[in-house]
């Protein structure tokens, strides 16, 4: 049963489509759908039909590369935009990884002022705190104290990086 419906904004570029496809494979319960001409309401109805609790929408940024990431809560009776928008600086595609077969928790290193907790809430995945030895696949958020980079989101399995790395430039906490 899917827990995360992953799609793109309208008129995506090939790198945005690839990011959505790989993210859906790396996260447990991720299902990638082609958006086509679907509105957010239609995406919400599809998520309800599939039993997904979240919708993740990847959009374009600079030069057509992946940029904006928005999140929708699909557990209620109508779509609820999660007031957390993530802007990617860049994405690095490493190697193809198989589908996640068990829940994918989130760990972190460094201090990100609540970013790991916000990200875990946005994708409805448990945040387990500072990194520890974990035998299965997990998401590692490395907090970086550099100009124009907030954090790096990595997928780790068997002690090595798999799939992709998302370099997060900034996040917005939107007040509706």
Q: Report pLDDT digits (tens) over 118-165.
A: 999 999 999 998 877 888 889 999 998 788 899 999 999 888 899 899
Which residue has better confidence, 1 or 118? 118
Q: Tell me the residue length of the chain.
A: 176
Task: Report helix, strand and coil shares of the chain as percent, to nearest 5.
Answer: 20, 40, 40
Q: Which of 175, 166, 136, 148 is nearest to 15 (CA)?
A: 166
pTM: 0.92
Say if residue 176's pLDDT is above 60.
no
Q: Give the residue among 142, 158, 81, 84 at the shortest CA–CA distance from 109.
A: 142
Nearest to 16 by CA among 69, 82, 72: 69
Please give the domain boundaries of the chain with CATH numbers for all domains.
Answer: 4-172 (3.40.50.10480)
Alpha helices in the chain (DSSP H): 14-26, 40-50, 115-123
- The pLDDT score that the predictor gives to residue 52 is 94
Listed in sequence order, the residues at least 6 apart from 175 whose beta carbon sits closer than 8 Å to its beta carbon are 83
| pLDDT (average), residues 114-118 | 92
State residue 168's pLDDT score. 95
Q: Kindly state the average pLDDT of the residues 77-101.
A: 89
Q: Per-residue confidence at 2, pLDDT binned at 50, 70, 90?
A: low
3-state secondary structure of 130: strand
The alpha carbons of the chain give a radius of gyration, in whole angstroms, of 15
**pLDDT for the residue numbered 154:** 94
CB 56 within 8 A of CB 123: yes
Give the pLDDT confidence of 36-79 residue by residue, as tens digits: 889 999 999 999 999 999 999 999 988 889 999 999 999 999 99
């Amino acid at each position: 049963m899917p827990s995360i419906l992953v799609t793109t904004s309208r008129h995506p570029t090939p790198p945005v489509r690839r990011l959505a496809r790989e993210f859906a494979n790396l996260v447990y319960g991720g299902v990638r759908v082609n958006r086509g001409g679907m509105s957010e309401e239609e995406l919400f109805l599809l998520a309800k039909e599939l039993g997904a609790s979240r919708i993740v929408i990847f959009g374009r940024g600079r030069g057509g590369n992946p940029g904006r990431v928005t999140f929708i809560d699909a557990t209620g009776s109508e779509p609820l935009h999660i007031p957390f928008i993530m802007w990617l600086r860049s994405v690095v595609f490493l190697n193809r990884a198989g589908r996640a077969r068990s829940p994918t928790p989130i760990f972190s290193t460094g201090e990100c002022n609540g970013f790991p907790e916000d990200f875990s809430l946005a994708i409805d995945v448990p945040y387990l705190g500072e990194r520890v030895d974990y035998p299965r696949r997990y998401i590692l958020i490395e907090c970086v104290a550099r100009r124009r980079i907030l954090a790096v989101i990595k997928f780790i399995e068997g002690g090595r990086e798999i799939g992709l790395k998302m370099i997060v430039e900034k996040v917005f906490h939107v007040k509706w």
